[in-house]
């Protein structure tokens, strides 16, 4: 279709996606406390946040929970993906699929509320667990598991099953097959699942709000409480740092991936060419 219209549409679309982020960044360098009026350039708010113990503690808590969540989600998600792909019949398989998909569609207010009420009940019955890092971790892992399972499952589905058979044929016992062949084959998807669940956990507010206890305010909870009250330049500074870190990571990651892909394609083409030459020779 019309390529001019296309360019306009794409430009407008990307402006829509990026202008809000850009204004966030610009006003993080604002001298004035008035977030929307320019009062001169300054790094003032960055200084403020690194001495703001609420922010710093929140950041480290969030990182810790995200690390724990991503790791647990990838392990459990890998199990779940294997169960879905490799075991074509077991008791309650349909329900199993429902359990994997449900956390992806049920609103977080519901997962958060139900887990909280569950933990409260547990606490009354057995005196455990206290609300805090552990309960948040469990909460994040319920949906992290599902995301990880979906990512890993799609990789397992496309993997050539004869690779595993070949390994066994060459003398691998079942567990050796897993760590010598299957694991390297799905490693990239494990990494992707890890990063995905890490960011989801790092970003989560709603479930966290339900499950956090006294003294366990993650960074998003700190941001939410400040954002509720109105505009706050420290939030802009936090946003800028986040955007910077993420952009560098994502851009570097995708550049690396596309380089790998290009190199691979070139090598394949080269091998094919050599092969054709060998035939005609």
Considering only residues 25 through 84, tell me which ones interact with another protein, judged by CB under 8 A: 27, 34-37, 76-77, 79-80, 82-83
Whether the Cβ atoms of residue 153 and residue 193 lie closer than 8 Å to each other: no
Which residues are within 8 A (CB) of 30 and not within 5 positions of it... i.e. 6 or more apart? 37, 38, 39, 40, 41, 42, 45, 233, 236
Binding mask 81-120 for another protein (x = CB under 8 A): -xx--xxx-x-x---x--xxxxxxxxxxxxx-xxx-xx--
What is the DSSP secondary structure assignment for residue 39, as one 8-state letter? -
Give the Cα separation of 160 and 176 in Å (integer).
Answer: 17
Q: Which of 41, 184, 191, 256 binds another protein (CB under 8 A)?
A: 184
Distance from C-alpha of 73 to C-alpha of 80, rounded to nearest angstrom: 10
Assess 274 for contact with another protein (CB under 8 A).
yes
Binding status of residue 128 toward another protein by CB under 8 A = no
Q: Which of 251, 271, 275 is nearest to 263 (CA)?
A: 271
Minimum distance between the CB of residue 195 and another protein, rounded to whole angstroms? 9
d(CA 166, CA 176): 12
| Residues from 135 through 174 that contact another protein (CB under 8 A) | 138-139, 141-142, 145, 149-150, 160-174
C-beta of residue 81 within 8 angstroms of C-beta of residue 149: yes
Site mask for another protein (CB under 8 A), range 188-227, x = bound = -----------x--xx-xx---x---------x--xx--x
Using the contact rule CB under 8 A, the part of the chain among 41-49, 51-59, 126-134, 270-278 near another protein is 270-278
Q: Which of 133, 109, 131 is nearest to 218 (CA)?
A: 133
Minimal distance, residue 43 CB to another protein, in Å? 19
* Shorter beta-carbon distance to another protein: residue 24 or 193: 24
Q: Which of 130, 179, 256, 268 touches another protein by CB under 8 A? A: 268
Contacts of 63 (CB under 8 A, 6+ apart): 202
């Amino acid at each position: 279709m019309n390529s001019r219209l296309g360019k306009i549409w794409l430009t407008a679309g990307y402006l829509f996606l990026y202008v809000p982020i850009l204004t966030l960044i610009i006003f993080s360098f604002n001298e004035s406390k008035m977030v929307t009026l320019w009062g001169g350039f300054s790094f003032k708010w960055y200084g403020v946040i690194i001495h703001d113990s609420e922010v710093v503690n929140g950041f480290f808590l969030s990182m810790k929970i995200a690390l724990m969540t991503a790791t647990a989600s990838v392990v459990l998600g890998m199990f779940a993906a294997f169960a879905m792909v490799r075991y074509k019949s077991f008791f309650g398989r349909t329900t199993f699929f429902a359990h994997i998909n449900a956390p992806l569609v049920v609103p977080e207010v519901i997962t958060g509320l139900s887990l909280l009420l569950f933990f409260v009940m547990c606490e009354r019955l057995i005196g455990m667990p206290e609300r805090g890092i552990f309960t948040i971790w469990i909460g994040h892992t319920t949906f992290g598991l599902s995301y990880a399972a979906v990512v890993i499952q799609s990789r397992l589905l496309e993997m050539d099953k004869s690779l595993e058979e070949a390994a066994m044929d060459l003398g691998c016992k079942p567990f050796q097959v897993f760590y010598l062949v299957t694991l390297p084959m799905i490693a990239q998807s494990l990494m992707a699942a890890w990063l995905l669940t890490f960011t989801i956990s790092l970003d989560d507010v709603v479930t966290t709000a339900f499950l956090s206890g006294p003294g366990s305010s993650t960074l998003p909870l700190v941001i939410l409480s400040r954002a509720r009250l109105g505009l706050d330049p420290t939030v802009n500074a936090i946003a800028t740092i986040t955007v910077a870190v993420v952009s560098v990571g994502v851009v570097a990651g995708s550049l690396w991936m596309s380089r790998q892909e290009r190199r691979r394609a070139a090598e394949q083409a080269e091998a094919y060419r050599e092969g054709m030459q060998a035939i005609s020779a």
